[in-house]
Structure 1
Amino acid sequence: MAYGDRKSERVNFDRGIPVYMMGIDGTWRRDCMMIDVSQTGARLLIEGSLEGLDLKEFFLLLSSTGLAYRRCKLVRVSGDQIGIEFLARDTHTKKKASKHRAPDQAV
């Protein structure tokens, strides 16, 4: 499976960077290593099984305290490695704000 089809340039990490995957609802968390990253996504080496995890949407925690994170979705699985795509920030709140704005209000 090719990982070279990214829209933006990627940075490879020889030893990997320790990161964590966490469910949107916080019910699960997995240790993993970030092998490479680009502006649009990353490739992760997963420790343990992916069985039973909801990977349609999850958080990638870039720090152990969870202060640095990205919302992600699964793109591909290849053995113990997965490809993920970073989701746009605040797309839900922007859509909600524009729906509730009165038509005569200036932006």
Structure 2
Amino acid sequence: MKLDGRKAFRVRMDHKQSVNLMGSDGTWRRKCVLLDVSQSGAKIEVEGTLDVLQAKEFFLLLSSTGLAYRRCELVWIDGTTAGVHFITADGKRRPVSAPAAAAQTSVQSK
């Protein structure tokens, strides 16, 4: 399902998926709920103060052990909800792949 006219195919979570944000230097951590996710980014609801997001770059920890994570940057904040964009190892934004774009087209036409 493509939401809000976005470039990437997004999956909306049916159940609350608890994840964490962590500063790239490890000095802070915030609990949050994953609302939707795509290959290129995610929408999250953050618990607590959002002042730490001023860092602009941080990690989204997808597992309690920290073994599954994505490096990301802040795109927008609206109240307690935030949008993040995933960054690749070379420091560039993660592009939408051709298979994902083809899936978007087939889903939109149904």
TM-score, scaled relative to structure 1: 0.77
Residues 1:53 and 1:76: Cα distance change in structure 2 (over 3 Å): closer
Residue 77 of structure 2 aligns with an amino acid whose one-letter code is V
CA distance in 2 between counterparts of 1:49 and 1:18 reads 17
Residue 91 of structure 1 aligns with an amino acid whose one-letter code is D
**For each residue in 1:27-73, what CA deviation from the matched residue of structure 2 results, as whole angstroms up to 9, or x when unmatched?**
00000000000111000011011124443100000001100000000
Number of matched pairs = 89
Question: Which 4+ residue blocks in structure 1 deviate beyond 2 angstroms?
Answer: 52-55
Deviation of 1:4 (Å): 1.6
After superposition, where does 1:33-44 map in structure 2 within 5 Å? Answer: 33-44=33-44
TM-score, scaled relative to structure 2: 0.75
1:91: which partner in 2? 90
Task: Indicate the percent of aligned positions where both proteins have the same amino acid.
Answer: 53
Residues 1:83 and 1:53: Cα distance change in structure 2 (over 3 Å): closer
Residue 8 of structure 1 contacts residue 39 of structure 1 at CA under 8 Å; is this kept in 2?
yes
Residue 23 of structure 1 contacts residue 54 of structure 1 at CA under 8 Å; is this kept in 2?
no
- Any stretches of 5+ residues in structure 2 without a counterpart? 92-110
Higher relative contact order (CA 8 A, sep 6+): 2
1:73: which partner in 2? 73
Matched residue of 1:91: which SS?
coil
Higher gyration radius (CA)? 1
Residues 1:16 and 1:78: Cα distance change in structure 2 (over 3 Å): same
1:19: which partner in 2? 19
- Any stretches of 5+ residues in structure 1 without a counterpart? 93-107
Residue 53 of structure 2 contacts residue 74 of structure 2 at CA under 8 Å; is this kept in 1?
no
Matched residue of 2:27: which SS?
coil
Q: RMSD of aligned C-alpha atoms? A: 1.5
